[in-house]
Copies of this chain bind each other. A is one copy, B any other.
Amino acid sequence: MNNKRLGGQTVALQTPPSVLSFSNIGGKFEGEGPLASYFDELNEDSFFGEKTWEKAESAMQKKVLQRALGKANLRPGDLDYILAGDLLNQCIGSSFSLREFGIPFYGLYGACSTMGESLALASMLIDGGFARRAAAMTSSHFCTAERQYRMPVPYGSQRTPTAQWTATAAGCTILSDDGPGPYITHVTCGRIVDKGITDANNMGAAMAPAAYSTLSAFFRDTGTRPEEYDLIITGDLGELGHGIVREFFQKDGVDLGERFQDCGLLLYDRENQDMHAGASGCGCSASVLNGYLLTGMRKGRWKKVLFAPTGALLSPTSSFQGESVPGICHAVSLSAER
């Protein structure tokens, strides 16, 4: 089975797993953005009917999982695994959402790369013959993230221009050994890259070298070129980080062009919604993938998409202790055809 490992960090799936169904959910600001029509559910209530924002985040995950199951006519018992994680301390968004489902669960922590990490591992479990169906899921919530990483929301702290806006959103993909596509053809596992950036309000710049590292590895390992993809999309680098990655490739003589985009630059209206450098959070790339991107692929808008969300592996404690921000990026390649 050696041909699965392409060398480097990339694996070619022998029988590319198919997307069976997908679902996303968003909050008020996501509903005011340009991708609003691609959401299954938008809720103006930041509590999603719960008593706390943390419980709200769990409720969001519960809802997207239920919807994704419903769209595929599946019960929880039909899933062999769910791989999920989130930004909350000890990943309580995922663990509390999954209490009632009884699905075998591997918990992940990849910060905002979690949608890529969960899809990558779920794909390998299916292609390796260990599962027929597996779900990949993650979420973020503006209010839980602000309280945990920065300041409680009611303080109304001023934000720096490089800051991004954590999306209140969740997304879930159900993969299967058989289905209508799109198919996951390759996965590239990221290495931690830390270039010494210590400004926790400039995560885009901190994560950009990781995105460059994983995307370069993907092209090198697969022997493909950016032009062969209709869309190469990072997770939440935002304006600054995305520009840095584009520049890194330019230095290599590679122009990524218009096909190079970022979920964080698509989720909100860059003119009329004041989100500074763009959207961020696990829920950003998760909700853009499980709405706008997968819908577009099913409709034939894009045939080959390289999805590469990045994560900043810091904590408030590590920043207080003067540490820089380690970044990671996990990529999965999606294709309309097997």
Q: Is A235 an interface residue (CB 8 A)?
A: no
Q: What is the interface size of chain A, counting residues whose CB is below 8 A from a CB of the partner? A: 61
Most chain B beta-carbon contacts within 10 A, residue among A80, A313, A326: A313
Q: Complex Cα distance A123/B201, Å?
A: 38
Q: Complex Cα distance A54/B323, Å?
A: 11
Query: Quick one: which of A48-69 are within 8 Å of B by CB?
Result: 51-52, 54-55
Given that A92-B313, A125-B124, A130-B11 are known contacts, is A189 also in contact with B104, CB under 8 Å in the complex? yes
Q: Is A43 an interface residue (CB 8 A)?
A: no
Other-chain residue from B5, B96, B105, B326 in contact with A130 (beta carbon distance below 8 A): B5
Copies of this protein chain in the complex? 2
Q: Is A240 an interface residue (CB 8 A)?
A: no
Q: Is A121 an interface residue (CB 8 A)?
A: yes
Other-chain residue from B81, B102, B313 in contact with A91 (beta carbon distance below 8 A): B313
Interface residues of A (CB under 8 A from B): 1-2, 4-5, 9, 11, 51-52, 54-55, 80-81, 85, 87-92, 95-96, 98-99, 101-111, 117, 120-121, 124-125, 127-132, 189-192, 194, 313-318, 321, 323, 326, 328, 330
Q: Can you sample 15 A-B contacts with CB below 8 Å?
A: A1-B129, A4-B129, A52-B321, A54-B318, A89-B316, A96-B318, A102-B191, A105-B189, A105-B191, A105-B192, A105-B328, A106-B189, A107-B110, A108-B109, A128-B130
Closest 10 A/B residue pairs (Cβ) = A128-B128, A1-B129, A95-B313, A104-B189, A90-B315, A109-B109, A107-B109, A89-B89, A91-B109, A4-B129
